[in-house]
Structure 1
Amino acid sequence: MASNDKRGWRLFSDLNNAFRRDPEINEFDFIPVLEPKNNRSPVVLVDHKLGLELWSVKILFQYVYHTLMGWRNKKSYKFIDPQEIAMLARAVVLVNPECYTAWNVRKELIESGDILELDDLRLSALVLTKHPKSSETFVHRRWVLGRFIENHLQSSQGSTKSTGSCVDGFISMEAIDLNLEASQNQLSLQNGDGSLNVSAVSDYHRQMKVEIDVCRCAAEKYPCNYYAWSQRIWLIQHCYNCSTQVLLSELQVTESWVERHISDTCGFHYRQFLLTTLFAQRDQLRDQFSMQYVAIMQKEHKFVQDLISTYPGHEAMWNHRKYVFHSLHNLYCTECRRDEGENESNLKKTRLENDHHILEQKEIDCVQQNELKCKDIHQKRFAQNYIDWIQKTVIK
């Protein structure tokens, strides 16, 4: 049943006028005004920030939702212009982004050419500023990005390579920009692959920078935002083909993030994804970047040790330490087995430097001498659980 409140139409009109006045709106939120206090519009636009007074949210939503659903279900046979349908769907998802029907309407309008992909990506990014953990918004964004990627692959001049893979050519360590959030365009052209359209590659990486920023902002706004970090993993896998250089970049970029969010398990899980993926590319790490995977893991081990010492009593860091230590332990065990068939001098050297039994004892001693003596009761409990885990699970 359509809403009979005529204020809904006026609110819808004011919202559309705000988007027409400022196409660069980059943030949306509700303003905690519970009742109208004067004769002015509850739609507020200041410095690219869009606000909607709380008292008007329900009125607006009832109007746009019932109008859109009436058209969708053919209950209203009145012709509605595709652009108005797009604006109705936009208003619906701004208030309630979990309405998958509204997103499906926008998908159909994208396929018919009535909405541009980049415009829709801007809208979903705007929605995430208010609803950073909206699963439907991230799902829809992946669908649009899939079309965006396909279109850019088709725009390449006869290349069959994914745009993301063109950073995988040999690059000296001095040429690596290890800040993915700061610059992508230079990275994409380092190996001089002339088979790709340079403008298309530049546009592609510019948009991918936006995608990383969207994920980062959503993760900042909502703690342990599984959907934002899953989206970031999806980007690395599907938009960058797990490029070794991008993985190294992300590993460095997210160091400062986890330092500022020490209880966020999703941030540590993302680093585990990066490290696990780099393990599969350890030969390329050695041959193209002159880096040893074990050195990366040793650095990560020192990193998480320092975090635990600096910020005691947070379980997320201890769980990450388990992953890192278990990975290092497996690497040392593999190295020892590999060297068993070599000559005695090499075997002796391996046992002195890489023996996994020494690693186990050193780790236990380190925890007993530091974290187990901490005054924080939670830190002591986590430390004891960690030692028990090593003795029961790792040592066999």
Structure 2
Amino acid sequence: MSSNDWTLLVLLSSSIEQCQSIEFMPLTSTNEYTVYCCCEETVYLCVNILELKTIVNLCYSYLFSKTHQENSQLNVLTRVLLCCITECLTSWNIRRHLVLSKAIEISKELQFVEVLLRLKPKSEQVFRYRRWLLNHEDQDKVHLANEFDLCNQTAEKHFINYASWLHRRWLMEHFKVDIDEELERNYRWLERNISDSSGFSFRAYLISKKTVDMNLIKQELNGNENLLKFYIDRESLWIYRQTLILLALNHVSPDQKRLLFTEEFELEKQFPENFFSKRYFRFLNVLSSSDGKQYRS
């Protein structure tokens, strides 16, 4: 380890702190010098993926040495290392200590985590750390709209991103968000991402938090049917419809169940047959003949 090595890490850390987006891609080095990164103003940082191993090894060498244990030095090391390895629990725990000791401002740390989530939108460790930060932030300083926008971006960037939806569930429960407003936001998101079953799973969670009755089930089934008219071959829509039927079995009367099954079997005449519709109606046949006992939790 040399002074040049430490200077490199400090420069990388400073660039990461200022930029809004990070990417890894091959950059061309020469015999005269090695290219580690390329920074475009203060917006975009490109790190040379061919030198990633060198950067990570440098971070670990300093991190486990006895000479670079001051808060400012640990801040530099863990910031760079987490951009390369977001699942490094040691680095997250060090940063928790730095936050608690006031060496890092929570507001700036939230910005850093947001940059990481653009880089690794499905990282459970990053989301878990963000929830920890929000728990330690003053509630009146938390911008919920920004949190929901971040959830939208990460869910769209990575298909079936349950880490993002789990974070959204936590926001709903921790900040007591209005369920009807969230159902409206969720419907708008699903219209743009109709094949993402994780979004429908989240919607089923929201529905289960309301007072479930036949009116609510019918309303959701009608909305689902409208979407099926345009996207009949999307498995996510049929799975969500199946989930609604199972939800109804636990909350409606026997007469309402019989009426529900009758109306559902009528759909078989309206929609052209495909693999997912055939599977759905087989499911209804089994369910109606057994009263759904084997499907109940």
Asked if TM exceeds 0.5, the reply is: yes
TM-score grouping bracket, smaller chain normalisation: 0.7 to 0.9
Q: Does 1:257 align with 2:189?
A: yes
Structure 1 residue 17, shift from structure 2 partner: 3.5
2:210 corresponds to: 278
Q: Does 1:316 align with 2:217?
A: no
- Which of these residues, 38, 45, 49, is aligned with residue 50 of structure 1? 45
* CA distance in 2 between partners of 1:216 and 1:61 (Å): 31
2:119 corresponds to: 130
Structure 1 residue 363, shift from structure 2 partner: 0.8
- 8 A contact 1:103–1:140 mirrored in 2: yes
Q: Does 1:210 align with 2:146?
A: yes
- 8 A contact 1:360–1:395 mirrored in 2: no
Structure 1 residue 380, shift from structure 2 partner: 4.1
Q: Does 1:99 align with 2:88?
A: yes
Structure 1 residue 120, shift from structure 2 partner: 1.4
Count of residue pairs brought into register by the alignment: 291
Taking the TM superposition and a 5 Å limit, the aligned residue runs for 1:175-190 are none
- What RMSD over aligned residues (CA atoms) do the two structures have, in Å? 2.6
When Rg is computed on C-alpha atoms for both structures, the one with the higher figure is 1
1:232 corresponds to: 168
Query: Secondary structure of the residue that 2:103 maps to in structure 1?
Result: coil
2:26 corresponds to: 32
Deviations 1:102-141 (A, max 9, x none): 0000000111110111111111111111111111111111
Taking the TM superposition and a 5 Å limit, the aligned residue runs for 1:1-396 are 4=1, 8-19=5-16, 22=18, 25-33=19-27, 35-36=28-29, 42-46=37-41, 48-70=43-65, 76=66, 78=67, 80-148=69-137, 151-152=138-139, 200=140, 203-204=141-142, 207-240=143-176, 243=177, 246-279=178-211, 294-333=214-253, 355-366=256-267, 368-371=268-271, 373-374=272-273, 377-394=274-291
Task: Using structure 1 for the length normalisation, give the TM-score.
Answer: 0.67
* CA distance in 1 between partners of 2:128 and 2:249 (Å): 38
Aligned residue identity for 1:387: L
- 8 A contact 2:15–2:42 mirrored in 1: no
- 8 A contact 2:21–2:43 mirrored in 1: yes
- 8 A contact 1:318–1:386 mirrored in 2: no
Structure 1 residue 45, shift from structure 2 partner: 3.0
Query: Secondary structure of the residue that 1:312 maps to in structure 2?
Result: coil
* CA distance in 1 between partners of 2:38 and 2:61 (Å): 20
* CA distance in 2 between partners of 1:327 and 1:299 (Å): 13
- 8 A contact 1:7–1:59 mirrored in 2: no
- 8 A contact 2:98–2:104 mirrored in 1: yes
- 8 A contact 2:5–2:58 mirrored in 1: yes
- 8 A contact 1:110–1:117 mirrored in 2: yes
* CA distance in 1 between partners of 2:286 and 2:194 (Å): 21
* CA distance in 1 between partners of 2:243 and 2:184 (Å): 18
Aligned residue identity for 1:112: S
Query: Secondary structure of the residue that 2:23 maps to in structure 1?
Result: strand
- 8 A contact 1:26–1:49 mirrored in 2: yes
Q: Call closer, same or farther: CA 1:294–1:42 in 2, change over 3 Å.
A: same
- 8 A contact 2:165–2:198 mirrored in 1: yes
- 8 A contact 1:298–1:328 mirrored in 2: no
- 8 A contact 2:122–2:154 mirrored in 1: yes
Q: Call closer, same or farther: CA 1:9–1:313 in 2, change over 3 Å.
A: same
* CA distance in 2 between partners of 1:144 and 1:393 (Å): 48
* CA distance in 1 between partners of 2:281 and 2:54 (Å): 56
* CA distance in 1 between partners of 2:121 and 2:197 (Å): 17
Q: Which moved more, 1:296-305 or 1:120-129?
A: 296-305
- 8 A contact 1:5–1:59 mirrored in 2: no
Structure 1 residue 88, shift from structure 2 partner: 0.8
- Unmatched 5+ residue regions in structure 2? none
- 8 A contact 2:162–2:198 mirrored in 1: yes
Aligned residue identity for 1:369: K
Query: Secondary structure of the residue that 1:86 maps to in structure 2?
Result: helix
Structure 1 residue 228, shift from structure 2 partner: 0.8
1:176 corresponds to: none
* CA distance in 1 between partners of 2:290 and 2:62 (Å): 59
Identity fraction in percent: 22
- 8 A contact 2:62–2:68 mirrored in 1: no
- 8 A contact 1:326–1:394 mirrored in 2: no
